[in-house]
Amino acid sequence: MSKEINGSEIILKSLLDQGVEVIFGYPGGAVLPIYDSLFKQNSIKHVLVRQEGGAVHAAEGYARSSGKIGVVLVTSGPGATNVVTGLTDAMMDSVPIVCITGQVPQHLIGSDAFQECDTTGITRPCTKHNYLVKDVNKLSSVIHEAFVIANNGRPGPVLVDVPKDVQFAKGEYLEPSTISIQKHRLFDPAVKENEERVEEAVKLIANSKKPIFYIGGGCVNSGIKASKLVRDFVKITGAPATMTLMGLGVLPSSSEYSLGMVGMHGMYEANLAMHDCDIMINIGARFDDRVTGRLDAFSPNSKKIHIDIDASNINKAIKVDVPIVGDVETIMQQIMNIWNNKKYSTNADDLNKWWNKIETWKKADCLDFDQTSDMIKPQQAIKRLYELTKDKKTIITTDVGQHQMWTAQYYKFEETNKLITSGGLGTMGYGFPAAIGAQIANPKALVIDIAGDASILMNIQEMSTAVQHKLPVKIFILNNEYMGMVRQWQELLHGGRYSESYTDSLPDFVKLAESFKAKGLRAEKASELDQVIKEMIESDATVIADIMVDKEENCFPMIQSGSAHNEMLLNKNQKQDKLSPEKGKVLV
């Protein structure tokens, strides 16, 4: 019989055996025993955030920039409810997270005890799976299973709720190697069925005249090998490829095959190519509404191949012709083998015609903007930031809104895992804590959170975290004193009635930085931009760079909600004929 130890020690031992190096957390009454065990060891580092919401985003940034699982430790009640946004975010963007929450002792559960809430009930829809551990002897096996589930198949967040009495109780610790997880609890690829479909897909691609690759975050999640296979296959076929926000970097921005981002604020040529193609090859994307626009006019004349690890994504929004459920790496390897072994090829003449057509769309120069006066255009700010940081090992995180889309458009990502952004949930306040997590995972990298003035205020308390842990995170605020994307929609769809989208009484961000003993910088004119960016990069402190940009600049090109890919607006003077604003208004 092995030696019995406390539940809280079992938790620490489980985490250690799972290879955990860092925990993002915040202590409280119901996790005091775990924090006590944490105090007595030196193997696992704890990063104290300033609000539990920040802990999950930091863990997401850590996970997405390191390929490891992000770990969160928070207390019961408000600790648990504060992590709900982050868990939902991780669920939507498939980020592997294990979140441990304290719970009131079992005899108090259900009594409306102090700091009690139904954590597993609240987090059920926003986790892949969750547990309430009532028996200390099951604690280690539950935690080990949680780590496997978080990373298995389509990754996601898993929560383990541990009542305080279980943390104190003595029990047996089981090593990860002794745990067996039943097959049905894990992802099970349909290997046999796939073989035929892969062959069918290969034939469709070889016979296509106007193919397009539509590459999503699934390629990134599948790993570096998967991205390389996708890159190689795109090259072999010579077909154009577009990426979703989550897929940026799978194909380097400089690749001759890349048409850039697709969707609402994607590239004009990418959207038109999606609309006009005859074969669409969706690899690890999910036909999100930001990508598809109007569903009944989405790529009307194409056959669609859809590779996805999550079977529920098949035919959810768009009916596809060849669905293949599986991991991108496995499937792309199969596609590659069949393509090479059976000597398939695409028709060069057809592809040339297709590329010529795409070239005519590129002439629209959809990312063109006017930087004539000395007022800083936000696009120019991102462009200069890119030019001055492209030679460094740079990781960009963003918050949500106009600045996020400008980043996706003007910052050129050459690799995966270099853009960390909240895609599915669209969580304002994501970028800064995510940058903290990314910096912890990559101490030598240049980590920049490109933020908006409104978004940054949603988790500004984490300044304290960044400074405490001496993290040289840079916050690059495109400050237009508005919730820019809200303002843009109000301008385009609500008659310019800017209801509550102006952020009055903004802090002086330079002084705010200084009050946290960080560095504050400001650029007000285009001529000051480069100097401020350089100073920001060169500093080894936490820096806020407050970039005062044109207040009323809009993010274009744009497919308004409810419009199709071929109804894209290049600027606000263009009229939208097909859809009345009244109809677009009801959509999000």
Partner 1 sequence: MMNKSDKSVYDSPTAVSDVKRHILTILVDNEPGVLARVVGMISGRGYNIDSLNVAEVSKEHLSRITIVAQGTNEVIEQIQSQLMRIVPVHDVINLQDEGSSVEAEVALVYMYINEENKKQAYQICDFYRARKIENEHNSTIFEIAGASERIDTFIKDISKIVKIKIVRSGPVAISTLNKNEEE
Question: Residue numbers of the site for partner 1 (CB under 8 A)?
Answer: 120-121, 124-125, 128-130, 132, 149, 182-185, 289, 294-296, 310-312, 314-317, 319, 562, 579, 583, 586-587
User: At its nearest, how many Å lie between partner 1 and the CB of residue 478?
Assistant: 30
Q: Whose Cβ is closer to partner 1: residue 185's or residue 517's?
A: 185
Are the beta carbons of 211 and 205 closer than 8 angstroms? yes
Q: How far apart are CA 417 and CA 248, in angstroms?
A: 9
User: At its nearest, how many Å lie between partner 1 and the CB of residue 100?
Assistant: 17
User: At its nearest, how many Å lie between partner 1 and the CB of residue 275?
Assistant: 15
3-state secondary structure (DSSP) of residue 459: coil
| DSSP for 287-355, written as a single string | --HHHH-SGGGSSTT-EEEEEES-GGGTTSSS--SEEEES-HHHHHHHHHHHHHHTT----HHHHHHHH
Q: Whose Cβ is closer to partner 1: residue 366's or residue 559's?
A: 559
The runs of H, that is alpha helices, within 442-479 are 453-457, 463-468
| Amino acid in the structure at residue 145 | E
Residue 496 makes CB contacts below 8 A (sequence gap 6+) with 490
Q: Whose Cβ is closer to partner 1: residue 296's or residue 577's?
A: 296
Q: Whose Cβ is closer to partner 1: residue 510's or residue 579's?
A: 579
User: At its nearest, how many Å lie between partner 1 and the CB of residue 61?
Assistant: 25
User: At its nearest, how many Å lie between partner 1 and the CB of residue 191?
Assistant: 16
Q: Whose Cβ is closer to partner 1: residue 117's or residue 483's?
A: 117
Q: Whose Cβ is closer to partner 1: residue 218's or residue 378's?
A: 218
Q: How far apart are CA 155 and CA 145, in angstroms?
A: 13
DSSP class of 508 = -
Cα-Cα end-to-end distance for the chain: 59
Tokens of 526: 């285009």
User: At its nearest, how many Å lie between partner 1 and the CB of residue 584?
Assistant: 9
3-state secondary structure (DSSP) of residue 449: strand
Q: Whose Cβ is closer to partner 1: residue 298's or residue 482's?
A: 298
Tokens of 144: 């080990």
Strand partners, 305: 281, 322
Are the beta carbons of 544 and 475 closer than 8 angstroms? yes
User: At its nearest, how many Å lie between partner 1 and the CB of residue 294?
Assistant: 5
How far lies 445's CA from each of 66, 246, 393, 436, 459, in Å? 12, 21, 5, 11, 22
Q: Whose Cβ is closer to partner 1: residue 57's or residue 197's?
A: 197
Query: Helices 402-410 and 378-389 meet at what angle, rounded to 10?
Result: 50
User: At its nearest, how many Å lie between partner 1 and the CB of residue 77?
Assistant: 19
Q: How far apart are CA 397 and CA 60, in angstroms?
A: 11
Spatial strand order of the sheet with 157-163 comes to: 45-48, 22-25, 70-74, 97-103, 157-163, 129-132
By annotation, the residues acting in catalysis are: 52, 114-115, 164, 485
Q: Whose Cβ is closer to partner 1: residue 130's or residue 409's?
A: 130
User: At its nearest, how many Å lie between partner 1 and the CB of residue 310?
Assistant: 7
| DSSP for 172-214, written as a single string | ----GGG----GGGS----HHHHHHHHHHHHHHHHT-SSEEEE
3-state secondary structure (DSSP) of residue 537: helix
Residues comprising the chain, all counted: 588
